[in-house]
Amino acid sequence: MISLGSHTKVYLAAGPTDMRRAIDGLAALVEDVLEQDPLSSHLFVFCNRRRDKLKLLFWQHNGFWLWYRRLETQRFWWPNIDDDTPCIELSLRELGWLLDGLDLNRVEAHRRADFSLI
């Protein structure tokens, strides 16, 4: 149905987005604020002020996909807006963590094993 390949980048729009925006309004934000191409087959993620709703915009072949997620009692981790950085690039793995409710600033992986002799 939907294939997100290794070439697909994920961009979070920092700060809150008006969730009344539909596909055309979000695509305009991608161009004007994030300075990206909405037809690039990359995934663009937007969050509301209360951080309980997300919209994901994705172009595939000949049309847009728009996903919407609403949490009932909890909040998503979301970066604050920064004039220098209107968006943050994530991996697909980090997007999964975000959707699972993890704070990406606090996620720590196992330390790399180092077997070199000193």
pLDDT tens for each residue of 12-65: 998 899 999 999 999 999 999 999 999 998 999 999 999 999 999 999 989 999
Secondary element (H or E) of residue 93: helix 92-99
Q: What is the pLDDT of residue 101?
A: 82
* Residue of 81 and 7 predicted with greater confidence: 7
Domain boundaries, the chain: 10-99
Higher pLDDT, 5 or 107: 5
In contact, 15 and 80? CB cutoff 8 Å: yes
